[in-house]
């Protein structure tokens, strides 16, 4: 059963899934705190939806600003039903090419930023006795691809954090769901959502072939996703992990079948290492 008049707190609301889900939530009558690095990038929400939306400038890597924004959101609407961590980007570069500063910056946005939001929101959600924390991960939270290995690694960490979180906070009546999109035709591949490590000549051919492969992926329609998201947030018992798209499950099944086969092939040696 759909529950109306929810209050959402959404990061990364200026483009991609964040923008689509913000507008869809507003269209169904919910209230939304929409945040983005640049306030002007989400000003149109305020113009169109008025008091139904609160727009805030937010850099998720600034923990102080995160806490202030979450508290302001709670004071404005009186509650927080859904906290959706959506802000993030991808670093393009091989493991050898990316610098420590580039990797650190990626993790600051993709891992520590969401953690700051979660830590700021939890005291409010605990006091309420309800709430639903959503995090936008990726199908790459289960396997990885070359050239975007650091991005994939950030999603592996993101998944582990949310899985632990779910067990820790269910005692307070708070739910957790990891949203795992496959390839979609969003702005995620745009220059605003990608950063590139300095290139080494030795990887040029390999990366060129990889980018051709990436570009050939069948992409889903992001505008088809809101109803699926609403079914998750309206469910009495929402899933911890939720795939967006039709290609994810076959991919993950294949990956895990290969892993299990490999572990089984080495199991005698692994078991012998247990000792007696």
Q: For tokens 């572990």, name the residue.
A: 263
Cα separation, 75 vs 68, whole angstroms: 10
- Which of the residues 137, 138, 152, 153 is marked catalytic? 137
Relative to beta strand 90-92, strand 194-196 is parallel
Cα separation, 62 vs 171, whole angstroms: 29
Q: Is 46 a catalytic residue?
A: no
Helix axes 113-128, 149-169, angle to 10 degrees: 20
Cα separation, 205 vs 261, whole angstroms: 32
First to last CA, the chain: 55
Q: Is 216 a catalytic residue?
A: no
- Which of the residues 49, 152, 154, 155 is marked catalytic? 155
Q: Is 203 a catalytic residue?
A: no
- Which of the residues 49, 89, 150, 151 is marked catalytic? 151
Catalytic residues: 137, 151, 155
């Amino acid at each position: 059963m759909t529950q109306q008049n929810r209050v959402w707190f959404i990061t990364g609301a200026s483009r991609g899934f964040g923008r689509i889900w913000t507008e869809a939530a507003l269209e169904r009558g919910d209230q939304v705190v929409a945040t983005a690095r640049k306030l002007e990038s989400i000003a149109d929400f305020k113009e169109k939806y008025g008091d139904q939306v609160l727009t805030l400038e937010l850099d998720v890597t600034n923990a102080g600003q995160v806490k202030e924004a979450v508290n302001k959101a709670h004071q404005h609407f009186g509650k927080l039903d859904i906290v959706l961590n959506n802000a993030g980007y991808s670093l393009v570069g091989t493991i050898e090419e990316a610098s420590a500063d580039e990797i650190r910056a990626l993790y600051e946005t993709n891992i520590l930023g969401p953690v700051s939001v979660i830590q700021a929101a939890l005291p409010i959600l605990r006091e309420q006795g309800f709430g639903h924390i959503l995090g936008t991960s990726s199908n790459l939270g289960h396997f990885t691809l070359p050239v975007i290995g650091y991005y994939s690694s950030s999603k592996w960490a993101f998944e582990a954090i949310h899985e632990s979180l779910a067990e820790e906070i269910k005692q307070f009546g708070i739910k957790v769901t990891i949203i795992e999109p496959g390839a979609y035709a969003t702005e995620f591949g745009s220059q605003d959502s990608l950063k590139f490590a300095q290139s080494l000549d030795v990887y040029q051919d390999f990366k060129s072939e990889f980018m051709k492969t990436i570009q050939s992926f069948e992409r889903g329609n992001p505008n088809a996703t809101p109803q699926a998201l609403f079914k998750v947030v309206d469910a009495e018992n929402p899933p911890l992990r939720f795939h967006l798209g039709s290609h994810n499950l076959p991919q993950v099944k294949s990956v895990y079948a290969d892993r299990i086969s490999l572990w089984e092939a080495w199991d005698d040696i692994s078991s012998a290492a247990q000792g007696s």
